[in-house]
Structure 1
C-alpha cells in the first residue's frame, strides 16, 4: 500500500531506511542540540528540561502548572517533580491559588531570572552553528511548528 500526502509517497510494503525516517532525524537533531547546550547548562547547574522551564516562565511570567505543562508539552507527572527540584534549588516558587486550591501558580525567583539571563546566549550558539540563512531558519521553525500542530491535533 502506498500512502500519499500530496507529493509525498511512502510505500508501506518496503521498510524505510533509518536515515530516511524523519522521526530519527528529529530525534538525533534534538539530542545534538541538547549536547550543544550542555556546557552552558552544566556551568549553571541546569538540566535541559529546567532550561525550558526557565525560558517559558521568563517569557510568560505568571503561569499555572497546567499552563506550563501545555507550553512545554509535559504531563504533570513529569513536570511536578521537575518543579519541586527547581523550587528546592531556589529557581521557582509554587503557590496554590487562593481562588481554587487545585490550581498551582509558578513564578521565577530572582535567582531563576538571573540563571535565565546567564544562559541567554545558547540559542545564538545554535543559530551560528547551523550556518542557516535567516530564511532557512525561519522556514525550519515554521515547518517544525506546523508538523507539531498537525500531529498533535
Structure 2
C-alpha cells in the first residue's frame, strides 16, 4: 500500500467499477453512460435538458451524444417544457423505464455486495474521505496560486 498514491487507488477502482458496469450494460446492448443517464431522468415528469448535464457532472457535448443515441434506441423522447417554452424535457419511453429498472437493480446489487463485505464504520470513513477530497478540489486547496497547501476543515494535521 505504501507505493500506491491516492489518485492511483481512486482511478484504478473507478476503472474497475466502470468496466464492471459496462459488462453488465453490454448484456442489455447498453453502456454505463446510458444507464447513468436513465437513472438521472425523472421517470414520472421528465427532466429539463438544461439541468441533466449539471446533475450528472457532464459537459453538454458529451451528454448530447448520449441523448441522441438513447433517442435512436427508443429509450427517451423530447418535448417542450410546459413550464418554460424555451427548454426541452427529456422523458423516458416505456422501454426507457424498463431499462431504468435494470440499471437501478444493477446499482443496488453493487451496493448490497460491497456493503456485505465492509463494516458500517468503513463505509462511513470511505464517504468522509471522498467528501474531503471533493471539498479540497472544489475549494481549490490542492493547487493554489502560491502552491501552498491549505488546511481543510477536517484536517488532523496543522500546516
User: What is the TM-score when the length of structure 1 is the normalising length?
Assistant: 0.73
Task: Give the match's secondary structure for 2:20.
Answer: helix
Q: 2:130 aligns with which of 144, 147, 150?
A: 144
Residues 31-110 of structure 1 aligned to structure 2 (within 5 Å): 31-58=15-42, 61-97=45-81, 99-101=84-86, 103-110=87-94
- Shift of residue 60 of structure 1? 8.0
Gaps of 5+ in 1: 1-16
Gaps of 5+ in 2: 140-159
Distance 1:132 1:106, change over 3 A: same
Task: Give the match's secondary structure for 2:85.
Answer: coil
User: What is the TM-score when the length of structure 2 is the normalising length?
Assistant: 0.71
Distance 1:28 1:89, change over 3 A: same
- Shift of residue 69 of structure 1? 0.6
* Rounded Cα–Cα distance in structure 2 between residues aligned with 1:51 and 1:84: 14
- Shift of residue 118 of structure 1? 2.0
More displaced, 112-121 or 71-80? 112-121
**Pair 1:113 & 2:97 matched:** yes
Task: Give the match's secondary structure for 2:79.
Answer: strand
Q: When the two structures are aligned, how many residues end up with a matched partner?
A: 135
CA displacement, residues 74-114 of structure 1 (integer Å, 9 cap, x when unaligned): 0111111110110111111122335333x221121111110
Distance 1:70 1:60, change over 3 A: farther
